[in-house]
Every structure is written in C-alpha cells, then in structure tokens.
Amino acid sequence: MKERKPFLLRIDPILHLALEAWAHQELRSLNGQIEYLLKEAVAKLRKAIAEVESENREAPG
C-alpha cells in the first residue's frame, strides 16, 4: 500500500464541527470522512469529464 501523505488543513470551525458530526454518523474518523468525500468528488469529476469527452467524440463534426 502506498504511504499516506500527511498535510495541514485549515477549515472553518463550523465546517469542522459539521464534518465531525457527519463522520460520527458514518462511523468514520474525521480524517476518514474528509478522505472519503474527496475521493467521491474526484470520482464524480472524472465521470463528468469522461461523459463530456464521449459526447464530443460522438458529435458530428
């Protein structure tokens, strides 16, 4: 498994509390919740990009 890359994240205290509560509901650590959300966002972005590229290939030109 790849080594995890630690870094400092500064966020608004209210956002921190909301993420912490959400993580608790999902039975994750705060770090795990943030990583999960980031992975989901990247996957969604990649899917959207792939769909646009697919549409561009199929469009008559």
Tokens 């992975």 locate to: 39
What pTM value is reported for the model?
0.80
Determine the Cα–Cα distance for residues 19 and 25; give it in Å rounded to an integer.
Answer: 10
- What is the DSSP code (8-state) at residue 4? P
In this predicted model, what pLDDT tens digit does every residue of 43-56 receive, in sequence order? Answer: 999 999 999 988 88
In this predicted model, what pLDDT tens digit does every residue of 3-27 receive, in sequence order? Answer: 989 999 999 999 999 999 999 999 9
Confidence band of 61 (pLDDT split at 50, 70, 90): low
- Please give the pLDDT value at position 47: 94
Tokens 């966020």 locate to: 11
